[in-house]
Structure 1
Amino acid sequence: MAILTAPGLATGLAHAAPVAPAAPAAPAAPLPEPGAKSLEQVRKEIEELYRQAGTATDAYNLAEAETKAQSDKIVEIANLIVAGKEKIATLKNRAGAAARAQYRSGGLPPGARLALSDDPNEFLDGAGRLRQGEKATSGLISELDRTQQDLVDYAQEANERWATLEANRVKQEGARKQIEEKIKAAEGLESKLEAEEKAKLIQLEHEAQYKAQTAWLSTGAMKDVKGSATDAGKRAVQFATAQIGKPYRWGATGPGSFDCSGLTSQAWLAAGRGIPRTSQEQLRLLPKVALKDMRPGDLIIYFDDATHVGMYVGDGAMVHAPRPGRDVTMAGAGSMPIKAVVRPDA
């Protein structure tokens, strides 16, 4: 069932009016038994479970990104430690060479060598070189001390990074268990439905989206939206819409499946712009724009906790990866509560 007409990317952003949902083909379901949940109640319960799974998915994705960042930093520190040890070995060799050279010169103090020298000029020249050597030796020792302190600092930072890495892994595992628990509960509810009820459930979802989109449009939200996509925005939209029909899978960034922020981050990566991995980080780090200034390619962040994101494609529509059990699809931009609009190519 189409919620909106397909957007024309080459034109402006004049929104299309939503299309009313088709009338149910099947006869009305029998009256529920006293105390039994209505199909609409079941739909809302399933939707809430998937919303909670979406929240956990954002936490999982953030922990995964932070874990990778910490792992990369630990590798970097390890390389610095190796380089530091090699530098210390080089400095020690230089210090040893200086000590051996001094030993070969007899190690006599300057006063004694002046007394033994027949040529005061020769002594003064040697004394100058000696002072230069002492200065170089002092610099060598200072550099050795600094490098050794660097190694101590690197080791401390590595320990702190390991602690953060392990904490992120614990968070990631906790989020994974919560995701699986919520999805299993939602799938359990759906599995109890008959085929006819499952078809009706999908229709109820569409009707709820249609109702929300209609209410949103009736506020005049799209009245002043006339922005045109940039070249990068067009590429991002083309990538996102090309994924329509691919399944949602939490934690996925393609190419065969996506979660909501996996779709938007990969679309913008394909357009030549790396953006944060999660919807919450996209909200936090990308520039916000007013709804009236929205243009194709902008990201619409949904819900108060910013745990869902879609890409605006024009004509009052967006493309998104909805939830487990559903495919990447087009929907009304106002079919869910909008928290903010952000722009990757500001």
Structure 2
Amino acid sequence: MASHRKPRSRPSGTFRSHSPAVGFTTAALASVTLLSTQNAGATPSEPRPGGGAAQPTVEEVQKKVDDLYRQAGTATQQYNKAKEATDRQRRKVDGMLDEAAKRTQALNESRRALGAYAAAQYRSRALGPTAALLFSDSPQTYADQQHLLARLSGRQQQEITDYQEQQAAAAEQRAEATRSLESLSTSQAELRTAKQTVQRKLGEARRLLARLTAEERARLAELERQREAEARRLAAEKAEAEARRLRERQQQEQEQREQQEQPSGGTGAQTDYAAKAEKVLAFARAQIGKPYVWGATGPSSYDCSGLTQAAWKAAGVDLPRTTWEQVEVGRRIATEDLLPGDLVFFYDDISHVGIYIGDGKMIHAPKPGTTVREESIYYMPIYGSVRPA
């Protein structure tokens, strides 16, 4: 789906856009019918009654809605990134708390051992150095007094050393847990901010659509049909080019067999990738019709990068969570060299991704209000593509 500019540097390397910028789906238009219509008598581009600002044209509304969906898409990737960091930090904190509990238990056992020595000394009617150390305000300071340690037995010295080490380790563990909890709080705040941004952008888009008149909605639907037709035309051209390249390759292989009498076929790497891609596409096709939900990773719903991550996981390849990370995985591929299974990324902010299936088409999870589906890769401006494995 679409998005706003994210506050991060663009990934290394340069991709070039290979297609015109087209967006906005009929699913969004369908949702408009559920919203109230306003300004029924207003005409686009005409001044508002009373000399107010001019009404935006349908084309301007379309551009604004597209932009809002792109911004929501970028915010969704930011949400995914923050959620992953939050989950990772929470697991770290839980582990630290478990470790701190173990250290506390060990510390208590050492304290009990020292207490036993102190009790024995008390029963002997003498407050020995062990008791003095145990009841002192600063065991470390007392331990530095080497002349007192020399009076203790070897066993007592070991118990004191263990106690001091465990006390220091427990203190460090508590300090690290505190730092981790602070980091967790920061991640949770970023998560809330990203969630609010997504909801705000989607709300703005819905309000813009709600203000359209019936005539304007019809015009918007017509613009969308034109965009879809253009995207399909470009996909058909790519399908023809791919078929032509396949015929040429097959002819070359045939000539090589005739001249060298050697078996043809792809390299081992190509064959391995094709086998993985087949699993990826089988998984992706099985998800068609499931709803887009931002932040979702399946199995009942997905966002764009959640779908690509799950599909490649079905082939035994672990991809990172966000589009910004996935674009850095594997090898970059030119649009004319795409193979089924490759990942195609869209927009300059790399806020959307789909799985190439051949013939200029992809399977992707577009945006809220839509479902996982096949679509031309030229429906949105292409940023670049990668081959994950």
The reply to whether TM is greater than 0.5 is yes
Distance 2:298 2:68 in 1: 24
Q: Which residue of 2 aligns with 1:5?
A: none
Distance 1:313 1:85 in 2: 57
Q: Which residue of 2 aligns with 1:290?
A: 333
Q: Which residue of 2 aligns with 1:73?
A: 92
Tell me which of 158, 163, 179 is aligned to 1:160. 179
The Cα offsets for residues 183-229 of structure 1, whole Å up to 9 and x where unpaired, read as 11212222325263453243144145347657988999x96999554
SS across alignment from 2:327? helix
Correspondence 1:290-329 to 2 at 5 A: 290-291=333-334, 294-329=338-373
1:63 shift after superposition: 1.0
1:236 shift after superposition: 2.1
SS across alignment from 1:154? helix
Give the counterpart letter for 1:316 in structure 2: G
Q: Which residue of 1 aligns with 2:203?
A: 184
Change beyond 3 A, Cα 1:102–1:219: farther
Kept in 1: contact 2:239–2:358 (CA 8 A): no
- Stretch deviating more after TM superposition (249-258 or 91-100): 91-100
Moved over 6 A (4+): 98-107, 214-220
Q: Which residue of 2 aligns with 1:209?
A: 231
Kept in 1: contact 2:231–2:377 (CA 8 A): no
1:268 shift after superposition: 2.6
What's the RMSD between the two structures over aligned residues? 3.6
Give the counterpart letter for 1:57 in structure 2: T
Kept in 2: contact 1:43–1:204 (CA 8 A): no
1:309 shift after superposition: 1.1
Q: TM-score, normalised by structure 1?
A: 0.70
Distance 1:150 1:236 in 2: 48
SS across alignment from 1:305? coil
Q: Which residue of 2 aligns with 1:234?
A: 278
Distance 1:230 1:214 in 2: 22
Distance 1:238 1:172 in 2: 33
1:136 shift after superposition: 5.2
1:139 shift after superposition: 4.3
SS across alignment from 1:92? helix
Q: State whether structure 2 residue 195 is matched by structure 1 residue 172.
A: no
The Cα offsets for residues 24-76 of structure 1, whole Å up to 9 and x where unpaired, read as xxxxxxx9665654433332221111001101111111111111111111111
Distance 1:332 1:140 in 2: 73
SS across alignment from 2:284? helix
SS across alignment from 2:326? helix
Kept in 2: contact 1:212–1:335 (CA 8 A): no
Q: Which residue of 1 aligns with 2:260?
A: none
Distance 2:156 2:345 in 1: 62
Q: Which residue of 2 aligns with 1:123?
A: none
The Cα offsets for residues 53-104 of structure 1, whole Å up to 9 and x where unpaired, read as 1011111111111111111111111100011111112333444556778999
Distance 1:104 1:144 in 2: 23
Distance 1:186 1:208 in 2: 24
- Stretch deviating more after TM superposition (143-152 or 51-60): 143-152
SS across alignment from 1:156? helix
1:160 shift after superposition: 1.6
1:267 shift after superposition: 1.9
Tell me which of 196, 209, 222 is aligned to 1:200. 222
Kept in 1: contact 2:227–2:379 (CA 8 A): no
SS across alignment from 1:304? coil
Kept in 1: contact 2:85–2:187 (CA 8 A): yes
Q: Which residue of 2 aligns with 1:18?
A: none
Give the counterpart letter for 2:386 in structure 1: V
Distance 2:124 2:330 in 1: 69
Kept in 2: contact 1:217–1:334 (CA 8 A): no
The Cα offsets for residues 214-262 of structure 1, whole Å up to 9 and x where unpaired, read as 7988999x96999554433322221112222222221222333221112
Change beyond 3 A, Cα 1:323–1:64: same
Distance 2:245 2:164 in 1: 68
Kept in 1: contact 2:355–2:362 (CA 8 A): yes
Q: Which residue of 1 aligns with 2:102?
A: 83
- Gapped regions of structure 2 (runs ≥ 5): 1-42, 47-53, 127-149, 250-265
Kept in 1: contact 2:236–2:359 (CA 8 A): no
Give the counterpart letter for 2:64 in structure 1: E
Q: Which residue of 1 aligns with 2:311?
A: 267
Change beyond 3 A, Cα 1:179–1:212: farther
Q: How many residues matched? A: 289
Distance 2:121 2:387 in 1: 67
Q: State whether structure 2 residue 103 is matched by structure 1 residue 59.
A: no
Distance 2:297 2:374 in 1: 18
Give the counterpart letter for 1:196 in structure 2: A
Change beyond 3 A, Cα 1:218–1:143: farther
Kept in 2: contact 1:54–1:307 (CA 8 A): yes
Change beyond 3 A, Cα 1:331–1:278: same
